[in-house]
Amino acid sequence: MTIEAESNSDSAASQILVLPVAEQLQQLLGLEFEALKEQDLDRFEHLQTAKTDLLAELARLCPDSEVLQTHSDWQNLKEVLLDCRDMHRRNAMLIERKLDAIRGALRSLSAGHASSPVEVYDRLGKMSRFSKGRGFNEA
């Protein structure tokens, strides 16, 4: 067998494996979303290693997209990969929303504004009032 024929057979074998790997990634992204919703950070971190491995495997299996487009399952693969992209974006949006909520909570606790009637503990553990007006203790 010539090098070119060997290369073509390797490419064909790789193409057969691409769709199942993409489907595994799709399932993993669904699990990632569930872990994010449940705020299970340990499970989320564990899934990151598997996701990185699947992405590396996809990159190894299909280095040339033009060859891949000639595969009989190209349309199915394209749909799965588009779904993976959308799922990844959804997960990223959820992470951003959670981070924004945490940042907002931290801002309200640590850098209160003078107009805020919120009482919080300062760095020394004493109650601190962020209001220019009188507090309920002063009334």
For residue range 92-129, list pLDDT tens digits in order.
999 999 899 888 888 877 765 555 555 666 667 666 65
Q: Which residues of 25-43 are buried (b: 16+ CB within 10 A; e: fewer)?
A: bbebbeebbebbeeeeeee
Q: What is the pLDDT of residue 131?
A: 47
Distance separating alpha carbons of residues 106 and 104, to the nearest angstrom? 5
Residues linked to residue 15 through DSSP beta bridges, in sequence order: none
pTM above 0.75, yes or no: no
Q: Which amino acid is at 127?
A: M
* Confidence band for 38, pLDDT divided at 50, 70 and 90: very high
Q: Residue ranges of the domains in the chain?
A: 3-112
Task: Over range 41-53, report the average pLDDT.
Answer: 95
Of 8, 12, 54, give the one whose Cα is nearest residue 30.
54
Is residue 131 within 8 Å of 117, Cβ to Cβ?
Answer: yes
Indicate the fold that domain 3-112 takes in CATH.
Methane Monooxygenase Hydroxylase; Chain G, domain 1 (1.20.58)
The pLDDT, as a whole number, for residue 82 is 96
Residue 8: pLDDT band with limits 50, 70, 90: very low
What pLDDT shows up at residue 49?
Answer: 95
